[in-house]
Chains A and B, each alone.
Chain A
Amino acid sequence: MHVSPKKKIAKAIEIIKEEIVITEENPFYITGHSISIVEFELLKYAEFLYDFKLKE
């Protein structure tokens, strides 16, 4: 069954809102933890080769 792009975007936004609560007063924080070298080919594969942790 074909689902219109608009409906997909609406559904995607609904999922994000359910999983990640973002409000002006309450932003979502993530921590930049490490840097990685990734070998990739767009839409085919991505291999995370090496991770380098940032300092605590």
Chain B
Amino acid sequence: MRYAIVLLFDKKSSDTIFRVFKRFKEKKISHKGLMNDLKIKPHITLSVYDSFDVELAKERLNQFCRNYNKFKIQISSFGYFPSEKSVLFLNPKASNELLEIQQNVFELFEDFETEWNPKTWVPHCTLCMYLQKKK
């Protein structure tokens, strides 16, 4: 079982991105990587774990979020990772607030193994995956 810690957006921002998900589905943009089909909410992934204690995470995040203010994230472009997964994404500006929250989540769960290191983290909000079929 894998677990992710993700940053979710306010309703207005999410609704806008949901409309993109819906239209991607209508136009069959991907054969298997549609956020709409996978019931995925618009988000920015902060960290991913193969092994995780959900109850402990609940306690820690409950406390953590009480000390963190909501913040604005600027999306100034969108991009495309032309990898095997061929990911289309919104590209948030790597602001101090965004980098800081990822760093702090990483530190909050540093007793769990993850490859999502702040030094290599690329913030993005996935819109769709697998636009190309595997050859």
> Size range of the interface on B?
35 or more
In the complex, A46 Cα to B34 Cα: how many Å? 12
Q: Is the interface of B mostly helix, strand, loop or mixed?
A: mixed
Pairwise interchain contact A56-B132, C-beta atoms closer than 8 A: no
Give B residues with C-beta under 8 Å from A.
1-10, 12-13, 16-17, 19-20, 23-24, 27-30, 32-33, 38-44, 46, 54, 57-58, 61-62, 64-78, 80, 86, 88, 90, 92-93, 97-98, 101, 105, 125, 127-133
Q: Is the interface of A mostly helix, strand, loop or mixed?
A: strand
Pairwise interchain contact A5-B101, C-beta atoms closer than 8 A: no
Pairwise interchain contact A35-B105, C-beta atoms closer than 8 A: yes
In the complex, A35 Cα to B109 Cα: how many Å? 14
- Chain A contact residue count (CB 8 A cutoff): 42
Given contacts A20-B90, A55-B70, contact A9 B131 (CB under 8 A): yes
Query: Which residues between 6 and 48 of chain A lie within 8 Å of chain B, taking CB atoms?
Result: 8-9, 11-13, 15-16, 19-20, 22, 24, 27-46, 48
Pairwise interchain contact B86-A5, C-beta atoms closer than 8 A: yes
Q: Which residue of A lies closest to B101 (CB)?
A: A32
In the complex, A24 Cα to B74 Cα: how many Å? 11
